[in-house]
Chain A
Amino acid sequence: MKRPAQLLRTAVVGGVTLTLSLSLAACGNSGDSADGGSDKIHILVYGDAANKVEKQLVETFNKTSKVKAVLDTIPGADYQAKLQTIISGKQAPDVFFNWGGGSIKPYVDAGLLMPLDDFIAKDPGLESNFLPSVFNTAVVDGKPYGVPMRGTQPVLLFSNKKVLADAGVAAPRTWSELLTAVKTLKAKGVTPIALGGGDKWPTQMWFQYMYDRVAGPDLFQKAVGGDKSAWASPDSKKALGMLKELIDTGAFGSNYDSVKFTDGGSPALLATGKAAFELMGSWEYSTLQDAYPDFVKKDLGYGGFPTVEGGKGDPNNLAGNTNNYYSVLKNTEHPEAVAEFLKLMYSDEFVKAQLGIGNLPTTTNTPKFLNGSANPAYSTYQYELVKKAPAFQLSWDQAYPPAATTTIHQAVQQFFNGQMGADAFIAAMQTLPAA
Chain B
Amino acid sequence: MTTATAPAVDSEKTRRRATRPGRAAGTGVSRPSFVWAAPAAVFFGLFAIVPLLLVVVLSFTSWNGLGSPEFAGLDNWSKLLDDPVMLKSLWLSLLLTVLGVVVQTPISILLGVWAAGHQRNRAVLSAIYFVPLLLSITAVSVLWRAVLDPNFGVPSQARWLFGDGNLFGVQAGAIGVLVFVSTWQFTPLHTLIYQGAARAIPQVLYQAAQIDGAGRFRQFFHITLPQLRNSIVTSMVLMVVGGLTTFDTVLILTQGGPGTDTTNSAYYMYQKAFKSFEFGTASAIALLLVLVASFVSLVMVRLTGYDKMRSTMEGV
- A residues sitting closer than 8 Å to B (CB atoms) are 78, 81, 84-85, 87-88, 106-107, 110, 112, 197-198, 200, 253-260, 263, 265, 268-269, 274, 402-403, 405-406, 410, 413-414, 417, 419
Contacts beyond the supplied A263-B149, A406-B271: 10 A-B pairs with Cβ under 8 Å: A110-B67, A258-B169, A260-B145, A263-B145, A265-B151, A402-B275, A403-B276, A403-B278, A405-B275, A417-B258
A410 touches B259 (CB 8 A): yes
| CB contact between A84 and one of B64, B150, B164 (< 8 Å): that residue | B64
A106 touches B66 (CB 8 A): yes
**Quick check: is B96 within 8 A (CB to CB) of the other chain?**
no
Residues of B contacting A110 in the complex (Cβ-Cβ under 8 angstroms): 66-67
**Quick check: is B65 within 8 A (CB to CB) of the other chain?**
yes
A81 touches B274 (CB 8 A): yes
B149 touches A107 (CB 8 A): no
How many angstroms between the C-alpha atoms of A268 and B275 in the bound complex?
30
| CB contact between B152 and one of A81, A84, A265, A403 (< 8 Å): that residue | A265
How many angstroms between the C-alpha atoms of A305 and B158 in the bound complex?
36
A84 touches B151 (CB 8 A): no
Task: Tell me the minimal C-beta distance from A110 to chain B in angstroms.
Answer: 4
Residues of A contacting B165 in the complex (Cβ-Cβ under 8 angstroms): 255, 258
From known contacts A85-B65, A107-B66, infer whether A259 and B278 are also in contact, taking CB-CB under 8 Å.
no
How many angstroms between the C-alpha atoms of A189 and B310 in the bound complex?
69
How many angstroms between the C-alpha atoms of A256 and B165 in the bound complex?
10
How many angstroms between the C-alpha atoms of A414 and B263 in the bound complex?
14
Q: List 21 A-B contacts (CB under 8 A).
A: A81-B275, A88-B67, A107-B66, A200-B255, A253-B164, A254-B169, A255-B150, A255-B151, A255-B164, A255-B165, A257-B169, A258-B173, A263-B145, A263-B149, A265-B152, A268-B151, A403-B276, A406-B275, A406-B276, A410-B257, A417-B259
Residues of A contacting B149 in the complex (Cβ-Cβ under 8 angstroms): 258-259, 263, 265
Task: Tell me the minimal C-beta distance from B120 to chain A in angstroms.
Answer: 27
Residues of B contacting A255 in the complex (Cβ-Cβ under 8 angstroms): 150-151, 164-166, 169
How many angstroms between the C-alpha atoms of A263 and B140 in the bound complex?
13
A402 touches B277 (CB 8 A): yes
B259 touches A413 (CB 8 A): yes
**Quick check: is B168 within 8 A (CB to CB) of the other chain?**
yes
How many angstroms between the C-alpha atoms of A432 and B30 in the bound complex?
66
Task: Tell me the minimal C-beta distance from B178 to chain A in angstroms.
Answer: 14
CB < 8 Å A-B pair total: 90
**Quick check: is B142 within 8 A (CB to CB) of the other chain?**
yes
We find that the number of chain B residues with CB closer than 8 angstroms to chain A is: 30
| CB contact between B275 and one of A106, A107, A403, A417 (< 8 Å): that residue | A403
Residues of B contacting A257 in the complex (Cβ-Cβ under 8 angstroms): 166, 168-169, 257-258
Of all chain B residues, the one with the shortest Cβ separation from A85 is B65
Task: Tell me the minimal C-beta distance from B154 to chain A in angstroms.
Answer: 12
**Quick check: is B167 within 8 A (CB to CB) of the other chain?**
yes
**Quick check: is B146 within 8 A (CB to CB) of the other chain?**
yes
Residues of B contacting A85 in the complex (Cβ-Cβ under 8 angstroms): 65
Residues of A contacting B255 in the complex (Cβ-Cβ under 8 angstroms): 200
**Quick check: is B304 within 8 A (CB to CB) of the other chain?**
no
A88 touches B152 (CB 8 A): no
Task: Tell me the minimal C-beta distance from A48 to chain B in angstroms.
Answer: 15
Interface string of B47-82 (1 = CB under 8 A from A): 000000000000000001111000000000000000
A259 touches B260 (CB 8 A): no
Task: Tell me the minimal C-beta distance from B165 to chain A in angstroms.
Answer: 5
A258 touches B150 (CB 8 A): yes
Of all chain B residues, the one with the shortest Cβ separation from A106 is B66
Task: Tell me the minimal C-beta distance from B146 to chain A in angstroms.
Answer: 6
Of all chain B residues, the one with the shortest Cβ separation from A414 is B259
Residues of B contacting A259 in the complex (Cβ-Cβ under 8 angstroms): 149-151
A258 touches B275 (CB 8 A): no
CB-based closest 5 A-B pairs: A257-B169, A255-B166, A81-B274, A258-B168, A255-B150
**Quick check: is B148 within 8 A (CB to CB) of the other chain?**
yes
How many angstroms between the C-alpha atoms of A253 and B151 in the bound complex?
11
How many angstroms between the C-alpha atoms of A274 and B149 in the bound complex?
14
Residues of A contacting B148 in the complex (Cβ-Cβ under 8 angstroms): 258
B277 touches A403 (CB 8 A): yes
Of all chain B residues, the one with the shortest Cβ separation from A198 is B168
Residues of A contacting B271 in the complex (Cβ-Cβ under 8 angstroms): 406
Interface string of B267-309 (1 = CB under 8 A from A): 0000100111110000000000000000000000000000000
B259 touches A84 (CB 8 A): no
Of all chain A residues, the one with the shortest Cβ separation from B65 is A84
Residues of B contacting A107 in the complex (Cβ-Cβ under 8 angstroms): 66
Task: Tell me the minimal C-beta distance from A360 to chain B in angstroms.
Answer: 28
A254 touches B164 (CB 8 A): yes
Task: Tell me the minimal C-beta distance from A159 to chain B in angstroms.
Answer: 18
Task: Tell me the minimal C-beta distance from B179 to chain A in angstroms.
Answer: 17
Task: Tell me the minimal C-beta distance from B161 to chain A in angstroms.
Answer: 14
B275 touches A263 (CB 8 A): no
Of all chain B residues, the one with the shortest Cβ separation from A405 is B275
How many angstroms between the C-alpha atoms of A417 and B257 in the bound complex?
11
Of all chain B residues, the one with the shortest Cβ separation from A420 is B259
Of all chain B residues, the one with the shortest Cβ separation from A419 is B259
Residues of B contacting A254 in the complex (Cβ-Cβ under 8 angstroms): 164, 166, 169
Residues of A contacting B167 in the complex (Cβ-Cβ under 8 angstroms): 258
Residues of B contacting A405 in the complex (Cβ-Cβ under 8 angstroms): 275
A200 touches B65 (CB 8 A): no
Task: Tell me the minimal C-beta distance from A247 to chain B in angstroms.
Answer: 13
Residues of A contacting B173 in the complex (Cβ-Cβ under 8 angstroms): 258
How many angstroms between the C-alpha atoms of A88 and B67 in the bound complex?
7
Residues of B contacting A414 in the complex (Cβ-Cβ under 8 angstroms): 258-259
How many angstroms between the C-alpha atoms of A413 and B165 in the bound complex?
17
Interface string of B125-147 (1 = CB under 8 A from A): 00000000000000000100110
Task: Tell me the minimal C-beta distance from B88 to chain A in angstroms.
Answer: 13
Task: Tell me the minimal C-beta distance from B280 to chain A in angstroms.
Answer: 13
Of all chain A residues, the one with the shortest Cβ separation from B259 is A414
Of all chain A residues, the one with the shortest Cβ separation from B168 is A258
Task: Tell me the minimal C-beta distance from A15 to chain B in angstroms.
Answer: 14
| CB contact between A88 and one of B66, B259, B276 (< 8 Å): that residue | B66
